[in-house]
Amino acid sequence: MSTDKTIEKPWTGRFNEPTDAFVEAFGASVGFDQRMYKQDIAGSIAHAKMLAHVGVLTTKERDDIVRGLSKIEAEIQAGDFPWSIALEDVHMNIEARLTDAIGITGKKLHTGRSRNDQVATDVRLYLRDEIDTIDAELKRLQRALVELAEREAATILPGFTHLQTAQPITFGHHMLAWNEMLQRDNERLADCRKRVNVMPLGSAALAGTTYPIDREFTAKELGFDDICRNSLDGVSDRDFAIEFLSWASILLMHMSRFSEELVLWSSSQFDWVDLGDAFCTGSSIMPQKKNPDVPELVRGKTGRVFGSLNAMLTIMKGQPLAYNKDNQEDKEPLFDTIDTVKGCLKVYADMMAQIKLKPDNMREDALCGFATATDLADYLVRKGVAFRDAHEIVGKAVALGVETERDLSEMKLEELQAFSDAIGDDVFDVLTLEGSVAARNHLGGTAPEQVKVAAKRAIELLG
């Protein structure tokens, strides 16, 4: 990055002294906003075409600008662009270079526009493009989960409440619970995109412009769905970024919960899954360790994303209309969140496509903790016992199991009948793990048959 003192800023007309060197570096955003160069150039090309369309530029001027900007895009892509701190941001860097390249016509590009509507347009275009990439990555993770659910529709593990064994469930059902959350995230993202894809360009500095601009023309060129209806709001609104950060926070909250489960499941105490060597690391001192770094990091990055949401809300809360320099602070939390979300989704989609299960261990654990106690109570209800009485009867049977260290399914019929004469020899059908899950065969239930139906629907929703 150049710190050349001879570069002239485009706004020095009313100034008598140069900017303090530290202030110049302190205020510059080019170090981080240059990543929007493509959107900045696309926005400028659309603006120049619009100006020619309404007769403010000649077609020759328009063509020179478009050619110059395309050349600059290639220079930046090739890493051949002289970024300068003195020119503050991506916008002034590109504009100054355009004038270098094509002469005085370059100075006409900024007609009827301000950096205020320019930057708001660039950020929205950039975020819109990233939302599309994120959407594809989110769907890839969802597909991995749904395929795993389909394969493991009948694999049994204990389901928990309070992290205590509650009832047997199927692994497929558990994966589809995660997919439900991600499906809502997927729908929320599509909704957020609608409000991101609205064009501020034409708001100019804050009040609009005196030129006969055609905002519909520019919006069409740039693929915007709508146009900001108020110029003051257009340049100062950052709700769209806050909404995306809220979206990302909810997604990461989900992924963090998921991570917590994977950390537990891959521990030697649970030993239900193997995350794969490619997704774990070792310890520099303990040779036996295989640490679940990926889920731990995703859980940790959740804090970072929540922090960005908080930063953005706080950046906005004290600002009067319209644009204020505070708004320059919108970019780093937003960009960091985009990068973080993309990384988390990518690593999760790859990891979940390769995860190995240990069904024998899950099954063994499902057999501990009296996971089918509710099934015995439901059985008694079907035999005419009131549910509260059935609850009491089963509680006593469980107490015997605790005392003699046996599951209900391991007791003799006569032992069970001592608690209730409503118990017949068909009781063992409901005390097995398979019987228990298969019985929950309704919309939203854990039965393998339902998991298959739900997985099919989930795939259809993914399109």
Residues 349-378 that bind ligand ARG (CB under 6 A): none
HSE-up of residue 15 (Cα within 13 Å, Cβ side): 9
> Per residue in 106-140, is it b (16+ CB within 10 Å) or e — as a string?
bebbbebbbbbbbbbbbbbbbbbbbbeebbebbbb
Q: Does 95 bind ligand ARG (CB under 6 A)?
A: no
Question: Which SS3 state, helix, strand or coil, does residue 353 take?
Answer: helix
Question: Which SS3 state, helix, strand or coil, does residue 20 take?
Answer: coil
Q: What's the closest the beta carbon of residue 85 comes to ligand ARG, in angstroms?
A: 12
Instruction: Return the number of the residue (119 or 228) whose C-beta is nearest ligand ARG.
Output: 119
Q: What's the closest the beta carbon of residue 184 comes to ligand ARG, in angstroms?
A: 32
Instruction: Return the number of the residue (126 or 171) whose C-beta is nearest ligand ARG.
Output: 126
* Cα separation, 243 vs 249, whole angstroms: 10
Residues 105-134 that bind ligand ARG (CB under 6 A): 115-116, 119
Instruction: Return the number of the residue (115 or 139) whose C-beta is nearest ligand ARG.
Output: 115
* Cα separation, 180 vs 349, whole angstroms: 16
Catalytic residue annotation: 162, 283
In this structure, what token pair is assigned to residue 389?
A: 């009485």
Residue 46: closest CA among 69, 74, 30, 71:
69
Q: Does 89 bind ligand ARG (CB under 6 A)?
A: yes
Question: ω into residue 21 within 30 of 0, thus cis?
Answer: no
Q: Does 37 bind ligand ARG (CB under 6 A)?
A: no
Q: What's the closest the beta carbon of residue 101 comes to ligand ARG, in angstroms?
A: 22
Q: What's the closest the beta carbon of residue 330 comes to ligand ARG, in angstroms?
A: 7
Instruction: Return the number of the residue (118 or 142) whose C-beta is nearest ligand ARG.
Output: 118
Residue 186 and residue 135 in contact, taking contact as beta carbons nearer than 8 Å: yes
Residues 316-335 that bind ligand ARG (CB under 6 A): 323, 325, 327-328
* Cα separation, 15 vs 145, whole angstroms: 60
Please give the size of the binding site for ligand ARG, defined by CB under 6 A. 10
Q: What's the closest the beta carbon of residue 316 comes to ligand ARG, in angstroms?
A: 13
Instruction: Return the number of the residue (119 or 273) whose C-beta is nearest ligand ARG.
Output: 119
Q: Which residues bind ligand ARG (CB under 6 A)?
A: 29, 33, 89, 115-116, 119, 323, 325, 327-328
